[in-house]
Amino acid sequence: MRNATEQDFDDIVLKNDKPVLVDFWAPWCAPCKALAPTLDEMAEEYADEMEIVKVDIEANPKLAERFGVRGIPLLMIVKDGAETARTFGTVSRSRLDAFVDANVGTA
């Protein structure tokens, strides 16, 4: 799993050859912290199909503004340089797998 900043987001996410699951989060966000271990597991399991990238909205407020992040955790799928799906809030592993499978086509 990688971290993206305002300086490298376009290169890491938008220009990526693979689909990317972007996790918009903040250090003070308890639901974000609860979701982190699941995303760590998924980063390994889905490594061949997609990449998972974290964006700290406290350190990168322009990215949060750019993508209309109004609440966190916000998970966004980017394929071929464009957002294709997003989900908000704490989600179960099974729901997150279904979200990824439906929007990345890993099944």
Instruction: Give me the half-sphere count of Cα atoms (radius 13 Å) on the Cβ side of residue 63.
Output: 25
The residues, ordered by sequence, that sit 6+ positions from 90 with a Cβ below 8 Å of its Cβ are: 31, 34, 35, 73
32 has catalytic annotation: yes
CA distance 29 to 64: 15
- The catalytic residue among 32, 69, 78, 104 is 32
29 has catalytic annotation: yes
- The catalytic residue among 4, 12, 22, 29 is 29
97, two tokens: 């797998």
Catalytic residues: 29, 32
